[in-house]
Structure 1
C-alpha cells in the first residue's frame, strides 16, 4: 500500500529495467547491476554444454541461490532473475516457486524469506526472486557476505553492523561526544584557518575570520551548549596517532622520515603529513608547448586526495591508523574499513559519493580540504593520467581496509605532446577520453566492453564517448586520433561492438613513450583473437602497423605454436581468418 505514496522501491524499478532490457535481446552481462543479477539455473547443462530437461526441484540451485540472495539481503536488498545465461540466452526454469522459497528459508537458518514469481521472457518461463534488506546479518554456511560493486565478499558481523547503520541513516560523526569547546586545541583552529585562507575564496576567508567559538559552530561541530560532535572531537581535540606516514627512498630501506604522533588533533596530524609528502615529493621540469613549469613526481592534488579519503572515509570505530607508505615514487594509503553504499573498485569513479560519516565529510568540504562536489577520485585519475602516469589503483583488502596506490615518476613527454595537439583543445582534459586513450595505448586496442570497464560507464555512455573520440584530431596534421581496427567485421556498425585503436600517426608519436611498452607482438595478436573470437591478417596488420605479409607471418607463427588455429579448411581466398586454438 505504501507504494501508492512513495512509488515503487529501487529494487522493483531496477528489476523492471533489467527485464525490459532482456526482453529486447540485450546480453545479461551488459545490463545486470548492483541490485539485480541474472543467473542460469545450476546443473542445467550437460558435459557438452547442452541444456538438460528442467525439473521442479533442484537442490544445487536452491543452495546456490540461498548464498546469492543472502548476500543481496545483507547489502540492503536485491533481486535475481533465474533462467538467463551470461550471454543473454534465456534457457528458463521450471523450479516450483513455493518449494524454492521454503528451501532458501531453511538454508539461511530461517532468517531469509524471499518473494518469487514466475513470468514469461522470450518464450521461456523465468523466476524473479527478491530478497528484502536484512535487519540482522544473514549467514549462509556460517559466513556473512555482502556486495562490493557486483561481487559478494565476506565480512564480519561488526563491519556488517556498521554498514547497516549507515544504510539506516545513522551518522556516528554527528553524535555528541564528551568533549566541549574548552577541549579544542588552538593549534587545530589555526590549521583550519590556514586551509580556509589557502582556498582563495571570499566565503572561506570570511569563515576564517570568525572567532574561535563561531568558527566551530559555523563548521557545525558543536551544539548550542558547546558540546562537540564526534567529528568536532576528532578534528579539533588531542588524541592518539591516527596517521602513520613513512618515507623510504627504496623498498626495504630504513624510514628517513616517520610521522606518527599522538597528543594532536586529526587536523594537525593531517597538515603535518601533507607537508612531509610535499617535502619528499621531488619536482620535475615541464616544457611542452602550453605545459611549462614544475610539477611533482606524484601529482600533488592526487597525493593529498588519497590522504583525505583515507581520513574522511575510514572506519573511525577501528583503532588502526591510516597508513601511508611513500617509497621512491610509489605512494600507498591504506585505511581501515571497506567500501560502503554500493561503492567498489569497479564503479568508484562514477558512483555518487557515499560518505561513511556525512557530518565529517561535510566539515572537510567546508574547510576546503575535501572536494565539495564529491569528485576527488575523478581528480586523482585525471591528474595522474594527464601526466602520462598510471591510473590510481583503489582496492579493498581483507580486514577489511581500502588501499589506494599511486605510481609516480617522470611525466611522459610524448604523451604530453600528444595532449597538447589534440583538437578540440578541451579534449585533452576530458577524463573519459583520458581513460579510454590510456587503456588503448597500454593494450594496443580496445572494444566497447573494455572501454566501459575503464570508464566505469554504461553501454550507452560508452558509445557516446567513442563517437566523440572519433571526432578528435591531431591539430598539426588534422588526422584522426582514434580509429577502427581495419578488417574488423563489426566496423561501421555499432561503435560499442567494434574494435578501436590509436591511429598510425599517433602511435608513431608515442613510440618513445612508456605507453608503447605494452603487450609483445604475440601477446597483442593472441589477446585480440581470444577476446574477439577471431583475427585476420588485415586486422593483425592494422594492430601492428605493418604490411599484410608481415602480419600473416606473425599469425602463421602463432598457429605453428598452437596458439591459433585456421578459421576454415580452405586457407586461401578473401575473408580467411584465424581463431584461438581450443
Structure 2
C-alpha cells in the first residue's frame, strides 16, 4: 500500500511564518531581528534553510545545532525569548524524508512585553500591499499601541501636558451631570460632588506636582475643541447612511465623546424604524436594531479604540444592516471565539471606568452580552465580528425581520419564571431554531461556553418544556419542543423531527447486525440504543415483520439475522 507523504511546513509565508535561505550563512542579526518581530506581533515560526518560494535548500552547518541556536536567541533578545528550536529533515518539496536536507524550525511565542534585540532594535511583522510579510521597525508611537494591546499601559489615564481644569468645557460638564441624572444605571452619588471632586472620582484629572491635571479620559469626555485636537487628534468619528450606492447621510464628529455618543444615539432613532406585533391584547414594538445593543456597541467602539493610532470610529447603516468599527484590534487574550466567555478586559480602563459610572456602559463589563441579547431576543442572526482584524474591531448586525413567535416564546417564559432567559439559553434556542435538530455534541460545539454550563442550560430548557431530547448516549439529539412548534403552527415539522429517531434506530440496528456477522440479539439492541427489553423487542419485531431481519431459534437462544 502506497503511503501519502504529507508536507510538514506551511505552503507559504504569512504574518506568523517566515522562510529564510541559509545557503550563504544567514547573518545572525537577521535571525534575531526576525525572532524579535514575530514575538512582538503574534508569534509564529521561522524556518532556516527554505527559500521564499518554499523550496527546501538546507540549513548552514553554523545554525544546525538546535540547542546552541536556542541559547543564542535567548542571550541576544531583551527580555529573553524562550524559542523552541527543532531540527527537520525534508526533501526539496517540504515533505519529511530521511534522505532529505536539514532544516531548522524556530517556534517563537508571542511576547507579553516589548522585545528588542540585545543591540536595541525593536521590530514587528506586517503584511505588504501584495499580502507578503515583512519585518519592520516598531516606531516609538507604535509602542504605545503594542503596550496597550497586551494590557501593560492605559493611554487614557495619561495626564495631558500643559493643561488645567479650565480646559474642560462648561457645556460638556453640564451634559455630564444631565447624563448622570437621566441614567438609572449611573452612580448617583456622583451628583453630590463638586466639579473638582467629580473630575477626580471619574479619573478625569490626576495630580501632577500637587495640581489637578486633566487626563486623556477627561479631555476626551469634556475637553474644549482646541485641547482635544492637541491631546487626542485621533478621536474623530463618522456616521454614514447608504441606500444602495446613494449616500443619504455622511456626518463627521470631532467633538467630545459625551456629545458624540449622545448625538449619534439621537441620529440612530431617525434611521431605526419600529414595527409592532400583536401579542394577545397587547402590541409589542420591535425596532430594526435593538437600542440597548446599539448603545453598547457604540460605547464599546469609543471606549476600546486605540487612541494612539490614526483612524476613526465609523458607524454605517446600509441595506444589509449596521456596521460599527474602530481602530485597534482585540486586546491580548480576547478573540472572536472567546468574546462571550473571556474575562472583561479593555484597552482604556480609565475611560471605560468613567463611561460605566455615568451609566453609558454596562457596569459589569459584559456589554458584549447585551449586544448578543439584542439580536437573540428578536430571533435574529447573531452579531458578526468576523470582519475584525489585528488593527480593527468590527461588528455587523444584520437588518433582518424579527421572529414574532420566537419573541413571544421568550417573553412568555420570562413571565412564567419572573426573570429573563440567560444568554446561554438564548444561544441554545437560537441554534435549534435555525438548524432544527442537533446531536448533543453538535449543539455543545456551537456554544462558546464550557460543556458543563451548556449541559446545565440544555437541562433547564428541557424542564421548561422549550426543547425535547430523543435517544440515549451518543445518539441523543435535541430539537425545539412540540409545544413550541405548535405555537408556531408547524406541528408537521415537529412530527418530521420526531420521526428521524425512528428511522435512525432502524438503520443503527441493521448496521449493528452487519458488524456482528449478520446476526444480533435483543440484548445487543438494548445496549446499542440504551432502552428497556420490551422497547428493543418491539423495534426488532417491526424489522422482522418488514422482512429486514429473520428470527432464528426461540426463547433466550433467539437471535435475528439479515436475510
TM value normalised by structure 2:
0.64
Gapped runs of 5+ residues in structure 2?
A: 19-34, 45-63, 87-106, 118-122, 127-132, 230-234, 508-513, 519-542, 550-563
Q: Does 1:299 align with 2:293?
A: no
Q: Mark the CA change 1:132 to 1:296 in structure 2 (over 3 Å): closer, same or farther.
A: closer
Once the two structures are TM-superposed, the CA of residue 188 in structure 1 deviates from its matched residue by: 1.5
Q: Which residue of structure 2 lines up, in the alignment, with residue 37 of structure 1? A: none
Please state whether the residue corresponding to 2:266 is helix, strand or coil.
helix
Encode CA deviations 1:414-459: one digit per residue, 9 max, x unaligned.
1122224448535752211110110111122234454345431122
Cα distance in structure 1, aligned partners of 2:463 and 2:69: 56
C-alpha deviations, 1:46-92, integer Å up to 9, x for none? 5289xx9xxxxx999xx99x9599999558999xxxxxxxxxxxxxx
Identify the residue that residue 242 of structure 1 maps to in structure 2: 236
**Distance across 2 between alignment mates of 1:349 and 1:187:** 37
Checking the alignment, whether the CA contact within 8 Å between 2:148 and 2:331 is kept in structure 1 is: no
The answer to whether the 8 Å contact 1:76/1:132 transfers is yes
Aligned residues: 429
- How far is the alpha carbon of 1:462 from its aligned partner? 1.9
Decide whether aligned partners of structure 1 residues 371 and 549 sit closer, same or farther in structure 2, where only a CA change above 3 A counts: closer
CA displacement, residues 86-130 of structure 1 (integer Å, 9 cap, x when unaligned): xxxxxxxxxxxx96555667899965334799xxxxxxxxxxx99
Q: Does 1:506 align with 2:484?
A: yes
Residue 493 in 1 paired to residue 473 in 2?
yes
In the other structure, the counterpart of 1:436 is 428
The answer as to whether partners of 1:482 and 1:503 remain within 8 angstroms in 2 is: yes
Q: Name the structure 2 match of 1:484.
A: 469
Residues 492-522 of structure 1 deviation map (CA, whole Å, 9 limit, x = unaligned):
337xx84322234423444679xx9xxxx9x
Does the Cα contact within 8 Å between 1:242 and 1:260 map onto a contact in 2? yes
Q: Deviations over 1:316-375 (max 9, x none)?
A: 112211000012571110101101121111111121111101111111111111111011
TM-score (norm 1): 0.62
- Are the counterparts in 2 of residues 290 and 420 from structure 1 also a CA contact under 8 Å? no
Is residue 208 from structure 1 mapped to residue 200 from structure 2 by the alignment?
no
- Deviation, 1:181, is 1.0
Provide structure 1 residue ranges, at least 5 long, that are not aligned to the other structure: 1-44, 53-57, 79-97, 118-128, 146-152, 474-480, 486-490, 522-539, 554-566, 575-582
Could you say which residue in structure 2 is the equivalent of 1:144? Answer: 125
| Aligned 8 A contact 1:320 1:336 in 2 | yes
Aligned twin of 2:464: 472
Q: Distance in 2 between matches of 1:351 and 1:444?
A: 29
Structure 2 Cα separation of the partners of residues 338 and 306 of structure 1: 15
Q: Which of 297, 302, 318 is matched with 1:311 structurally?
A: 302
Work out whether residues 242 and 322 of structure 1, in 8 Å CA contact, stay in contact via their aligned partners in 2. Answer: yes
1:359 pairs with one of 347, 350, 359: 350
User: Structure 1 residue 326 and structure 2 residue 317: aligned?
Assistant: yes
Aligned to 1:186, which of 146, 170, 195?
170
Q: 3-state DSSP class of the match of 1:260?
A: strand
Larger Rg: 2
CA RMSD of superposed structures (Å): 4.7
2:4 to 33, 36, 47: 47
Structure 2 contact 276–284 (Cα < 8 Å) conserved: yes
